[in-house]
């Protein structure tokens, strides 16, 4: 009896999600000090070996590494302290994770500024940390050392890959999402548009990132501040219709990937690390001075612009 009720609910749920595909209602409007309610601070060792020391909320607020006003939330790394080369950890910074987790959803990130500087590795992404990599990972905004455009990437257990030909404005990189392939490169898409990342993004006043995740696809969009932004994205209103958002920057279809099998319910994570597995590995090739860890340790003033400034994060379900 229970099983058949459950089965009916499942089939009802799939009908509902089919009917409403594209239209979502706002379930969270995260602005200013609302970030402190929506997110946990994760004072954990960096899983990607960065030259970083993630601090807790009390420390972050005491050192002004996070700062909230009525309409903005800033998250930054320390830019005042010289770190001893013998210190076991690196520069103070912040990593936050939402209390809520999401499966089918859309989210819009209105970002005025992102961390910049040699050695920086900022990210806005979604995962279930406890089940990584089996629960999957979606990187919405990521890059290193001020280089290039944004990179949008899925990382999964073996058995999920992307077709070469997709409807997206970005440029497809590796197609296999398996974390065990090619040093966990994942199946990425380069956003191509220079204003999507780093100093170019900041000089342009930032912009909007958005994700739509369903049981059958993940899409990610980027619109620069002065771009042709859909009204519902720009206004951050109480509903969105992704059908009006145009061709996504990155499209990840389910033709060779069973999404419910590879993707759990995910938290949103925002992190800023230094050096480590990616930024450190390509540091020299990025035209940055000295070596990554030494530069980060010795030059606090180089990280004055190593901060995220969020106007809002809106979640729609």
Ligand X SMILES: *[C@@H]1O[C@H](CO)[C@@H](O)[C@H](O)[C@H]1NC(C)=O
User: Binders of ligand X among 117-146, rule CB under 6 A?
Assistant: 123, 125, 139, 142
Tokens describing residue 107: 């989210």
Whichever of 193 and 269 has its CB closer to ligand X, that residue is 269
Least distance between ligand X and beta carbon 58 (Å): 15
Other beta carbons within 10 angstroms of residue 192's beta carbon come to 15
What are the E-state strand segments in the chain?
23-30, 39-41, 52-54, 66-68, 73-76, 91-93, 95-98, 105-113, 120-127, 137-142, 151-155, 171-172, 187-190, 207-213, 217-224, 239-241, 250-253, 267-274, 307-316
Binding of ligand X by 48 (CB under 6 A): yes
CA angle 178, 278, 130 (to 5 degrees): 50
Tokens describing residue 293: 């860890």
Q: How far apart are CA 73 and CA 240, in angstroms?
A: 23
Whichever of 105 and 113 has its CB closer to ligand X, that residue is 113
Residues 91-120, mask of contacts with ligand X (x by CB under 6 A): ----x-------------------------
Whichever of 67 and 217 has its CB closer to ligand X, that residue is 67
In the complex, residue closest to ligand X by CB:
123
Binding of ligand X by 81 (CB under 6 A): no
Binding of ligand X by 64 (CB under 6 A): yes
Q: 270 Cβ partners below 8 Å, 6+ apart?
A: 39, 75, 94, 95, 96, 123, 124, 308
User: Judged by CB under 6 A, which of 98, 251, 273, 293 binds ligand X?
Assistant: 273
Stretch that binds ligand X, among 22-30, 43-51, 245-253, 294-302 (CB under 6 A): 43-51
Least distance between ligand X and beta carbon 72 (Å): 8
Q: Could you tell me how many residues of this chain bind ligand X (CB under 6 A)?
A: 14
Tokens describing residue 208: 């909007």
Binding of ligand X by 50 (CB under 6 A): yes
Binding of ligand X by 150 (CB under 6 A): no
User: Judged by CB under 6 A, which of 27, 29, 34, 67 binds ligand X?
Assistant: 67
Distances (CA, A) of 138 to 9, 42, 264: 28, 19, 11
Strand partners of residue 95: 271
Whichever of 140 and 229 has its CB closer to ligand X, that residue is 140
Whichever of 141 and 229 has its CB closer to ligand X, that residue is 141
54: three-class secondary structure by DSSP = strand
Stretch that binds ligand X, among 24-32, 40-48, 108-116, 223-231 (CB under 6 A): 40-48
Taking the CA of residue 243 as centre, how many other CA atoms within 13 Å lie in the half-sphere pointing to its CB? 7
Least distance between ligand X and beta carbon 287 (Å): 22
Specify the DSSP class assigned to residue 187: E
Contact between residue 313 and residue 83 where contact means Cβ atoms under 8 Å apart:
no
Whichever of 202 and 230 has its CB closer to ligand X, that residue is 202
Stretch that binds ligand X, among 8-16, 44-52, 164-172, 245-253 (CB under 6 A): 44-52
Least distance between ligand X and beta carbon 25 (Å): 28
* Site of interaction with ligand X (CB under 6 A): 46-48, 50, 64, 67, 74, 95, 123, 125, 139, 142, 271, 273
């Amino acid at each position: 009896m229970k099983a058949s009720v459950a089965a009916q609910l499942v089939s009802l749920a799939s009908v509902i999600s089919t009917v409403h595909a594209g239209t979502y209602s706002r379930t969270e409007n995260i602005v200013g000090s609302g970030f402190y309610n929506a997110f946990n601070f994760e004072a954990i060792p960096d899983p990607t070996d960065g030259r970083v020391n993630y601090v807790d909320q009390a420390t972050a607020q005491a050192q002004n590494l996070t700062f909230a006003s009525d309409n903005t939330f800033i998250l930054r790394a320390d830019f005042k302290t010289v770190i001893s080369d013998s210190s076991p950890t690196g520069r103070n910074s912040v990593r936050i994770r939402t209390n809520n987790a999401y499966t089918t959803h859309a989210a819009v990130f209105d970002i005025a500024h992102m961390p910049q500087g040699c050695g920086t590795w900022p990210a806005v992404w979604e995962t279930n940390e406890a089940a990584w990599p089996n629960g999957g990972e979606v990187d919405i905004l990521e890059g290193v050392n001020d280089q290039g455009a944004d990179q949008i990437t899925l990382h999964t257990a073996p058995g999920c890959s992307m077709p070469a030909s997709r409807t997206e404005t970005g440029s497809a990189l590796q197609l296999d999402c398996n974390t065990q392939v090619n040093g966990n490169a994942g199946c990425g898409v380069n956003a191509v548009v220079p204003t999507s990342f780093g100093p170019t993004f900041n000089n342009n006043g930032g912009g909007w990132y958005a994700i739509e995740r369903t049981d059958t696809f993940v899409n990610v969009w980027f619109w620069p501040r002065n771009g042709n932004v859909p009204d519902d994205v720009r206004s951050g209103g109480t509903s969105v219709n992704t059908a009006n958002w145009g061709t996504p920057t990155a499209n990840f279809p389910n033709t060779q990937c069973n999404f419910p099998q590879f993707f759990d319910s995910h938290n949103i994570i925002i992190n800023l690390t230094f050096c480590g597995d990616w930024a450190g590995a390509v540091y020299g090739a990025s035209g940055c001075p000295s070596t990554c860890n030494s530069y980060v340790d010795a030059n606090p003033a180089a990280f004055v612009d190593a901060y995220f400034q969020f106007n809002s994060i809106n979640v729609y379900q």
